[in-house]
């Protein structure tokens, strides 16, 4: 242990968290990370051309940023420079014109003088106009909220969450709470949370002003608040009846002229609250008081008792102000002026809703006179080495009082995950270590080290935590202050093989990006919601969260520490709407903004074991400000890698720049991702910061990414973060009071918006899993089984049954591989089952055991118990044969903090062929059937229709009817009633998904804002926005104008020997508008005397379709009567799946209904499909219905209560009719081929 004075940095108030900035980092990095982080090779010529340019001031910066920041100024300095240069040029031209008039000859003096006089007047007027235009701008730049060089006024340094506890017991209990204990729930706390206690609480009063000047005038004049309205805090005023929410992805909802913000139209809210100090708080005891705003968007002024206290920007980190000079006994008044737009908004363009207000808690903090701990940083390594740095304030006025710090590490246990009042949330454990340090009166920092042995390491799989208590006391022995935090011992490193390791073992990031979002409260996210999010992720095999694109509520990190979740902690920076993206990152005037935002998140979240990466932001270019921000992080903390994706443009680095320790490209193709991880000129790990855009019905092809991520031949490809977790929809009332739907950009009258690009989560806003979650869960599961060589066949496991009928034996062997990096398998219980195509329930179940310690092992599954039943099934096998599947399951043996016992974590299915070669298994001879009912067919042709009649027992009725104009089956009556509500016709269209529509239109609007330019680009490159829908529309394959079917020839032929009719329709599928032939098709209907119809179709596409990248689908569609609402099928299920998203969907016999089969995406689209189906049945409550059997190839199908046209035309779920079984016709699609739903990207 050691005490050190840091006198070289000035007074204690200045040296806290303000070390010398931007010094070069030393060689100690290589000791921490295992290999130098700057691993870019010296021979930069081997890199592709965009990376020849760095953020250190060479050619790219000169052309791309330096020149542009003068042409397009971004702060006061360059605005003044531009004003001065242009003004001088105009003055020079004016002076030249004036003197030129006196140098003319007498011959042409008169005529030229008139021209020069006109020129002088014009130039003078232009100069006056220029000055008049620029003066308001220059005047506005003096405002704090439009000056990026002013990040705050009087804001206190940020620190880790501190409870200012009066005793070590309070500290031990407090650190096991999700949020810091505070009044009024904890009466002895030195923190008083001033939040509204209920929606009816009227403590906070609110007034919305049109602009900042008006709001400041109201706040400073101390107007009476009579007539103001109550408001809930925390809350966004847009969700409480004021102003309107705005959603943009990369646009700014105001003219992009940094740092300028609209002056006349900048909604500004004034919050007021009376504060009556608790009776046990006295101003006479020397305590200090501060007000803490945990989160305010986007900037705010704070007043206490009418006195201006300070100013702050940064919407996602706390702002603390000292109010000790202004506080009074009795009733005080707090006023917060919240500015919706500020220059800080330019760096908060984060693909999220713009929602202003106080969206996190407001706290009044009392610091007792002798509570001198201001900050403490804890670094606990996997070796058991514990390093603690404590910063204290000097004991002003108390120079004779000796101070002592006591450090304790205890094995306390957070025993429950619910810390509601009345719950015992912690259990005291033994003390593992204790030490004391005496601090001299002139020393304001103390460091201490210890080695704890043995120790249990923290990981996302094994989140073991300890309690560290730091107590400050004086000679009188009274505890002046106690602080505590939960500590996890772990080390993050980048090894020489280019892999990220935790505690020396390589990890795989099964991650997701997460916005803080609540469908009702906007950016106000409750503790319960945070816990639910983390538990949902754990239950679905995720192990990491990227806090896109800003620091989260401090409680979220405690929750991640407890449950076990790796965190990529991101700074509150994104300038997606900048052109070019790096304008602000390169501008010296924005240096303070960038560096302070990055440094403050590190200073707040340093102690959390769950934080394994620091992220400097997202899509903000690659400029000098990030170089300085990176050096600042390294100076504060060099124990974690730094990541940063500078932007999608090649000129911005695409996640491969020198600013990042990990290659973190977003949305690469699978080959591109593999290439990044196998390059010989780069040895950094590759973790995709964003991939698989989950917008609507999406996440197709994600299995291709995970096939490469789990491939041991690509070890540096270590996972990624899906974009993103939750649809950011806002719940609003529907057409009637009892209904609601989720709104998105443009639904609130916001004219500048990016539509539904905020609806791109794996979960709905109320956390209902999308169907894609099952796919991702399967691909990320922690254990995988692979059949051993003797049992492998091309598509099935081949299991030979040996022995006799009385004593037969069969088994199968697998190689099991555990993907856990740190945990054994003792927490899982294993089972198997055999299922088939003749019953929904398993044929037989059983259990098996795995060694809990081995990562790779052989496992044998004995199947003797099922064989007798299989023999019985084989004896009675149907004509199509039996299909069998072996299903392996791994479930939680006991309940975890994040899931109950029995929760399914591992599932894998294998098709099985049982070989009974040594057994003589013959199906028994079927008894003679009863006398068959005599059935014969006859046909009749008219000009419009062709009808097949069915004569049974002297009764003749219609069996099937065909439209000769279209060749469609329009009537099918197997039981007297026609079961078709709409005819059976060829189908080549679908209700467009978000990926089908793409987002290129939004990108083109952003890139070419001038009217007509987007259309010009579209006409040059073809199509309007390059999307699938655009190209399908051009080809006539969309729902709004579906192609037409024209039957050129319809023939009926009778086959006398088999008593059947063959109907042949030779048709053309034509463009609905142009009449162009798209397909030539021949449809064959074979009608049998038993009532069955066999349908086959032959298609020949025309040349005009060759330019299409893909057809939406090739199949048939029809509508069935509502009563056939009991749906059964044998295929992949039970949930929705598609050809490119079916790995996690298992074969089985499933039953469902049209209302249950679909999924209500927020933006209605194609949904509800099931892949690889062998047969499909539709039954009425009476048991009668329709059976569809695939002939040779398996088919995809869907049966929904809404038509494809209804889905395609609807923009919200409220636009659709209710999905009710038995009342609406059933829209059925039978698809030979169905295009996947994609999801690599959603914008082209």
Helical (H) or strand (E) element with 933: none
* Cβ atoms 889, 845 nearer than 8 A: no
Q: Which residues contact 930 (CB under 8 A, 6 or more apart)?
A: none
Distance, in Å, from the CA atom of 1053 to the CA atom of 941, rounded to the nearest integer, reads 12
DSSP per position, 859-875: EEEE-HHHHHHHHHHHH
Closest CA to 1158 of 1117, 1222, 1207: 1207
C-beta atoms surrounding 966 within 10 Å: 19
C-alpha distances (whole Å) from 1068 to each of 1, 911, 1043, 1072, 1095 are 87, 41, 10, 12, 17
> CA triplet 583, 589, 590: central angle to 5 degrees?
60
Q: At what angle do helices 772-779 and 702-709 cross, to 10 degrees?
A: 10
Query: Under a CB-based contact definition with an 8 Å cutoff, are residues 1173 and 1190 in contact?
Result: yes
For residue 153, give the 3-state DSSP assignment: strand
What is the spatial distance between Cα 285 and Cα 875, in angstroms, rounded to a whole number? 92
> What is the C-alpha to C-alpha distance for residues 539 and 906, in angstroms, rounded to an integer?
11
Q: What is the DSSP letter of 442?
A: T
Measured from the Cβ of residue 101, the count of other Cβ atoms closer than 10 Å reads: 17
Provide DSSP, 609-623: TTEEEEEEEES----
Nearest C-alpha neighbor of 986 from the set 1043, 1048, 1051: 1043
Burial of 188 (0-12, 13-18, 19+ CB in 10 A): exposed
CA distance 348 to 341: 10
Closest residue by Cα to residue 1240 from 931, 899, 995, 1056: 995
CB within 8 A of 1059, min separation 6: which ones?
A: 935, 936, 937, 1088, 1089
Give the chain's length.
1244
Residue 673 main-chain phi, psi, to 5 deg: -65, -40
For the packed helices 527-539 and 554-563, what is the interaxial angle rounded to 10 degrees?
Answer: 40
Closest Cα to residue 548, out of 720, 649, 690?
A: 690
Active site residues: 619, 690
How far is it, in rounded angstroms, from Cα 473 to Cα 615?
38
| Two structure tokens written together for 631 | 């050096």
CA distance 562 to 918: 57
All residues at 6 or more sequence positions from 1174 whose CB lies less than 8 Å from its CB, including other chains: 837, 880, 883, 1130, 1131, 1189, 1190, 1194
Buried b (16+ CB within 10 A) or exposed e, 1043-1065: bbbebeebebeeeeeeebbebeb
- Where does residue 7 rank: exposed (0-12), middle (13-18), buried (19+ CB within 10 A)? exposed
- Give me the DSSP letters along 8-51: GG-SHHHHTT-PPTTPPP-THHHHHHSS-S----S-GGGS-GGG
Cβ–Cβ under 8 Å, residues 574 and 527: no
Sheet with 331-339, edge to edge strand ranges: 152-153, 307-313, 299-304, 331-339, 268-276, 204-209, 229-230
Separation of alpha carbons 234 and 241, rounded Å: 15
């Amino acid at each position: 242990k050691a005490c050190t004075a840091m006198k070289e940095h000035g007074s204690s108030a200045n040296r806290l968290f303000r070390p010398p900035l931007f010094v070069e980092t030393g060689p100690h990095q290589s000791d921490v990370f295992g290999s130098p982080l700057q691993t870019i090779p010296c021979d930069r010529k081997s890199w592709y051309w965009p990376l020849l340019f760095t953020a250190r001031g060479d050619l790219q910066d000169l052309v791309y940023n330096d020149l542009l920041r003068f042409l397009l100024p971004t702060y006061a300095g360059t605005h003044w420079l531009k004003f001065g240069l242009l003004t001088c040029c105009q003055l020079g031209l004016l002076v030249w014109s004036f003197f030129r008039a006196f140098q003319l000859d007498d011959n042409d003096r008169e005529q030229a003088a008139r021209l020069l006089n006109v020129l002088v007047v014009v130039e003078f007027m232009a100069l006056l106009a220029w000055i008049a235009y620029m003066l308001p701008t220059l005047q506005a730049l003096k405002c704090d909220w439009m000056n990026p060089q002013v990040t705050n006024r009087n804001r206190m340094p940020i620190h880790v969450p501190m409870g200012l506890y009066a005793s070590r017991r309070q500290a031990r209990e407090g650190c096991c709470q999700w949020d810091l204990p505070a009044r009024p729930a904890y009466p002895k706390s030195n923190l008083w949370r001033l939040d509204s206690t209920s929606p009816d609480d009227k403590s906070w009063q609110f007034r919305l002003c049109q602009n900042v000047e008006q709001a400041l005038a109201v706040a400073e004049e101390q107007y009476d608040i009579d007539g103001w309205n109550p408001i809930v805090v925390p809350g966004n005023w847009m969700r409480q009846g004021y102003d309107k929410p705005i959603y943009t992805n990369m646009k700014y909802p105001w003219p992009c002229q940094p740092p300028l913000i609209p002056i006349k139209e900048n909604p500004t809210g004034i919050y007021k609250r009376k504060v009556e100090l608790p009776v046990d708080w006295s101003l006479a005891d020397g305590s200090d008081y501060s007000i803490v705003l945990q989160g305010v968007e986007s900037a705010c002024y704070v007043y206490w008792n009418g006195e201006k206290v300070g100013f702050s920007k940064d919407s996602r980190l706390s702002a603390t102000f000292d109010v000790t000079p202004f506080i009074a006994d009795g009733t005080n008044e707090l006023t917060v002026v919240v500015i919706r737009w500020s220059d800080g908004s330019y760096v908060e363009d984060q693909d999220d809703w713009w929602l202003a207000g106080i969206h996190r808690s407001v706290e009044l903090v009392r610091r007792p006179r002798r509570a001198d701990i201001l900050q403490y940083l804890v670094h606990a390594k996997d070796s058991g080495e514990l390093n603690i740095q404590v910063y204290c304030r000097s004991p002003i006025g108390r120079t004779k009082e000796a101070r002592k710090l006591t450090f304790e590490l205890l094995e306390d246990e957070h025993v429950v995950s619910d810390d509601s009042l009345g719950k015992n949330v912690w259990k005291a454990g033994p003390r593992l270590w204790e030490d004391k340090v005496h601090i001299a009166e002139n020393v304001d920092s103390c460091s201490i080290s210890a080695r704890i042995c043995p120790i249990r390491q923290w990981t996302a799989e094994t989140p073991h935590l300890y309690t560290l208590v730091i107590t400050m006391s004086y000679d009188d022995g009274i505890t002046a202050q106690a602080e505590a935090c939960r500590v996890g011992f772990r080390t993050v490193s980048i090894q020489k093989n280019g892999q990220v390791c935790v505690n020396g073992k390589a990890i795989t990031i099964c991650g997701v990006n997460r916005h803080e979002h609540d469908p009702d409260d906007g950016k106000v996210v409750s503790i319960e919601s945070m816990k639910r999010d983390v538990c949902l992720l754990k239950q679905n095999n995720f192990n990491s969260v990227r806090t896109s694109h800003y620091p989260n509520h401090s409680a979220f990190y405690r929750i991640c520490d407890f449950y076990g979740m790796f965190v990529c902690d991101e700074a509150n920076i994104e300038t997606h709407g900048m052109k070019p993206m790096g304008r602000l990152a390169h501008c010296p005037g924005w240096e303070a903004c960038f560096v302070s935002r990055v440094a403050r998140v590190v200073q707040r979240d340093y102690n959390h074991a769950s934080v394994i990466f620091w992220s400097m932001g997202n899509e903000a270019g690659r400029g000098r400000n990030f170089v300085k921000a990176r050096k600042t992080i390294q100076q504060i903390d060099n124990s974690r890698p730094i990541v940063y994706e500078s932007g999608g443009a090649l000129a911005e680095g695409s996640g491969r720049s020198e600013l990042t320790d990990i290659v973190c490209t977003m949305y690469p193709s699978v080959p591109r991702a593999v290439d990044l991880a196998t390059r010989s000129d780069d040895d950094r790990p590759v973790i995709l910061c964003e991939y698989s855009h989950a917008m609507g019905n999406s996440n197709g092809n994600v299995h291709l990414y995970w096939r490469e991520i789990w491939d041991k031949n690509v070890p540096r490809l270590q996972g990624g973060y899906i974009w993103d977790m939750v649809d950011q929809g806002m719940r609003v009332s529907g057409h009637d009071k009892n209904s609601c739907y989720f709104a998105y950009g443009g639904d609130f009258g916001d004219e500048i918006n990016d539509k539904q690009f905020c609806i791109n989560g794996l979960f709905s806003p109320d956390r209902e899993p999308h169907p894609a979650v099952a796919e991702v869960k399967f691909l990320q599961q922690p254990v995988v089984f692979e059949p051993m060589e003797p049992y492998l066949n091309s598509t099935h496991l081949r299991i030979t049954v040996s022995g006799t009928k009385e004593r037969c034996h069969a088994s199968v062997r697998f190689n099991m591989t555990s993907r856990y990096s740190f945990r054994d398998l003792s927490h899982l219980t294993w089972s198997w089952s055999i299922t088939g195509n003749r019953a929904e329930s398993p044929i037989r179940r059983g259990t098996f055991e795995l060694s809990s310690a081995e990562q790779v092992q052989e496992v044998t599954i004995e199947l003797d118990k099922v064989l007798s039943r299989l023999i019985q099934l084989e004896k009675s096998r149907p004509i199509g044969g039996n299909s069998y599947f072996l299903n392996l399951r791994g479930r939680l043996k006991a309940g975890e903090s994040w899931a109950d016992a029995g929760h399914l974590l591992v599932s894998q299915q294998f098709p099985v062929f049982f070989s009974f070669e040594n057994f003589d298994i013959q199906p028994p001879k079927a008894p003679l059937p009863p006398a068959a009912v005599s059935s014969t067919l006859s046909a009749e042709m008219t000009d419009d229709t062709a009808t097949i009649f069915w004569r049974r027992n002297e009764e003749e009725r219609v069996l099937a009817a065909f439209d000769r104009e279209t060749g469609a089956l329009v009537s099918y009556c197997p039981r007297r009633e026609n079961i078709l509500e709409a005819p059976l016709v060829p189908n080549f269209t679908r209700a467009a998904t978000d990926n089908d529509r793409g987002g290129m239109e939004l990108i083109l609007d952003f890139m070419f804002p001038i009217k007509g330019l987007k259309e010009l680009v579209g006409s040059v490159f073809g199509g309007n926005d390059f999307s699938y829908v655009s190209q399908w529309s051009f080809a006539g394959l969309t729902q709004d104008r579906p192609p037409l079917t024209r039957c050129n020839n319809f023939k009926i032929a009778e086959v006398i020997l088999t008593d059947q009719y063959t109907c042949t329709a030779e048709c053309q599928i034509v463009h609905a508008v142009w009449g162009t032939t798209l397909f030539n098709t021949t449809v064959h209907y074979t009608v049998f005397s038993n009532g069955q119809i066999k349908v086959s179709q032959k298609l020949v596409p025309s040349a005009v379709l060759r330019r299409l990248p893909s057809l939406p689908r090739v199949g048939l569609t029809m509508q069935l009567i509502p009563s056939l609402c009991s749906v059964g099928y044998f295929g992949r299920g039970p949930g929705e799946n598609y050809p490119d998203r079916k790995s996690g969907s298992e074969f089985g016999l499933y039953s469902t209904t049209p209302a249950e089969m679909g999924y209500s995406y927020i933006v209605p689209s194609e949904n509800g499909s099931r892949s690889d189906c062998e047969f499909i049945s539709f039954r009425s409550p009476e048991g009668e219905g329709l059976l569809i059997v695939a002939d040779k190839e398996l088919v995809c199908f869907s049966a929904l209560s809404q038509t494809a046209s209804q889905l395609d035309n609807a923009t919200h779920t409220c636009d659709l009719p209710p999905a009710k079984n038995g009342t609406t016709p059933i829209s059925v699609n039978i698809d030979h081929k169905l295009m996947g739903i994609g999801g690599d990207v959603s914008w082209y």
